[in-house]
């Protein structure tokens, strides 16, 4: 079955700097890759996603890149703000079914 690895497990950046989180997946058939942000005591919230027919997608300060050959995808957050502090999860799936999540990255944005 699918296995998703995520690095780093913790990340601290200064406010205004960029943050990058990387994930790798094992099943080459996976074709949908969402990213979720989880704040303390809340459920994960979808922040951006990418499908396998696209190499990059941007939404304001957030971007995701996908390298199908290498089976990895990355989340890029620019101009980080304190409210970006949270745990971020990547996931992989086939046609949006039964997401397999990575272990998470705890991002701290220091003022």
Measured distance CA(63)–CA(41) in Å, rounded = 25
Minimum distance of another protein from residue 21's CB (angstroms): 13
d(CA 24, CA 74): 9
Q: How many residues does the chain have?
A: 111
CB of 102 to another protein, least distance (A): 5
**Chain residues in the site for another protein (CB under 8 A):** 4, 6, 32, 34, 36, 41-46, 49, 89, 91, 95-104
Instruction: Give the bridge partners for 66, in sequence order.
Output: 73
- Strands (E) in 15-54, as ranges, are 19-25, 32-38, 45-51
Q: Kindly tell me which of 29 and 46 has the beta carbon lying closer to another protein.
A: 46
Q: Minimum distance between the CB of residue 97 and another protein, rounded to whole angstroms?
A: 8
Closer CB to another protein, residue 3 or residue 18?
A: 3
């Amino acid at each position: 079955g699918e296995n998703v690895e995520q690095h780093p497990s913790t990340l601290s950046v200064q406010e205004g700097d960029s943050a990058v989180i990387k994930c790798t997946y094992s099943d080459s058939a996976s074709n949908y890759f969402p990213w979720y942000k989880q704040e303390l005591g809340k459920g994960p919230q979808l922040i951006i996603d990418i499908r396998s027919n696209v190499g990059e997608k941007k939404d304001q300060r957030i971007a995701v890149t996908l390298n199908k050959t290498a089976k990895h995808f990355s989340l890029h957050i620019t101009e980080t703000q304190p409210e970006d502090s949270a745990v971020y999860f990547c996931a992989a799936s086939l046609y949006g079914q039964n997401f397999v999540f990575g272990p998470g990255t705890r991002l701290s944005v220091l003022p």
